Amino acid sequence: MSEHRFHLPQLTAVSASPAVPQEAGLLVSGGRAPDVRWLREAAQGRRLIAVDHGLDACQKAGLRPASLIGDGDSASPLAWQQAKASGIPIHAFPPEKDDTDTQLALTIAQEEGMPAALLTGVFGGRFDHAYSTIFSCAAAPLRCVLADEREALFYLKDGEDIAITCHVRPKAISLLPLTPLTEGVTADGLHWPLAGATLPQLLPRAVSNVLEPPQDTFRVSLRQGILGVYLVWGDD
């Protein structure tokens, strides 16, 4: 089985399973805007889609999205008009709809053949929006990674594994069960390792772990369920 590698400015993730997408487009959503330099680096070589207010972050970084998706209720009117005038394709939706803008963007990205998505601008801001995005990405037909310069979230599904090498040492590493049970969870390279553990969603206890010095790489695998592998570099 071939090895998959995925790079962010602060880490490199490697897996023999689809947990690490080799090719991923970049969706910029409307939560906390990523650092401009981080966004520019993350955008290199990736198809860029702005999701409503994420358009403002793209413009601030001097990046032109390949398309714009949303209902236009949070992007600045000037940015929206400039995108329209410059010929950026717009998938416009009414505010009165069932799906969120990010959910619509995931569907459109998949329909357009995007094999995987790196989502940024999804942390910070409203908790309900972040909650919706985290679980929508867990269930999405395309593989997702959520990240900015402060936080990152990878998804492991049945039988998958991941090895993450941190170029910048994270403040904390947490394993978040996203199904009622995640079974057979093994984690090495952490101060509190796990071996075949069962983690229940309603009692998430595997939080605030740290790398075991002098390690800069840790590994996680699971047998069944969906597990979020979360890293945080700052919470200010």
pLDDT, one tens digit per residue, over 7-63 is 999 999 999 877 777 678 999 998 899 999 999 999 999 999 999 889 999 999 999
Mean pLDDT computed over every residue of the chain: 92
The stretch 211-236 carries a mean pLDDT of 93
The stretch 210-220 carries a mean pLDDT of 96
Q: Which domains does the chain have, with CATH numbers?
A: 1-12+21-149 (3.40.50.10240), 150-236 (2.60.120.320)
With both helix axes pointing from N to C terminus, report the angle between 101-111 and 127-139 in degrees, rounded to the nearest 10: 20
Q: How far apart are CA 59 and CA 40, in angstroms?
A: 11
Is 113 a residue whose pLDDT tops 90? Answer: no
The stretch 59-77 carries a mean pLDDT of 87
Q: How far apart are CA 133 and CA 28, in angstroms?
A: 12
The stretch 66-79 carries a mean pLDDT of 84
Q: Is the Cα torsion angle 108, 112, 64, 154 positive or negative in sign?
A: positive
Task: Let me know: does 211 contact 169? Beta carbons within 8 Å.
Answer: yes
The stretch 87-100 carries a mean pLDDT of 86
Q: Residue 57 in 3-state DSSP?
A: helix
